[in-house]
């Protein structure tokens, strides 16, 4: 009965992650999404949590790239691609990080 009124634990973590994401607290949002996924990996919130986790990782990766932290960007883009490998923009951003990191051959293979 109370589960229907207050939502399950996965939903609460997912909802908190969305609030944090909307507030620009991307690292905190990632943690909340990970908690939601861990609680119910096959539940209805897990797919959305993975999507927003990937988006948050990509945004942090872009911030790293803008600061010249190509390794940090690469790590974040790889994390985002682990959730959503079909997004071409993530592959392009990863290739840009490799170019900045002076690995043009790897960048060419990644693009």
The secondary structure of residue 85, as a DSSP letter, is: T
What's the confidence (pLDDT) of residue 6? 44
What integer pLDDT is reported at residue 88 of this predicted model? 86
Tens-place pLDDT, residues 74-92 = 999 999 999 988 888 888 8
| Rg, the chain, Cα only | 16
The pLDDT of residue 104: 60
Nearest CA to 94 out of 71, 54, 53 is that of 71
Mean pLDDT of 55-76: 93
Alpha-helical (H) ranges within the chain are 2-6, 9-22, 26-39, 44-67, 70-83, 88-100, 104-110
9-22 helix and 44-67 helix, angle to the nearest 10 degrees: 30
């Amino acid at each position: 009965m109370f589960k229907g009124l207050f939502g399950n634990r996965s939903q609460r973590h997912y909802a908190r992650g969305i609030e944090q994401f909307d507030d620009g607290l991307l690292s905190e949002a990632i943690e909340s999404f990970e908690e939601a996924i861990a609680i119910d990996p096959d539940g209805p919130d897990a797919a959305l949590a993975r999507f927003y986790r990937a988006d948050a990782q990509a945004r942090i990766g872009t911030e790293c790239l803008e600061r010249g932290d190509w390794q940090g960007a690469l790590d974040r883009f790889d994390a985002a691609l682990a959730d959503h490998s079909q997004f071409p923009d993530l592959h392009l951003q990863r290739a840009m990080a490799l170019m900045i990191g002076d690995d043009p051959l790897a960048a060419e293979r990644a693009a």
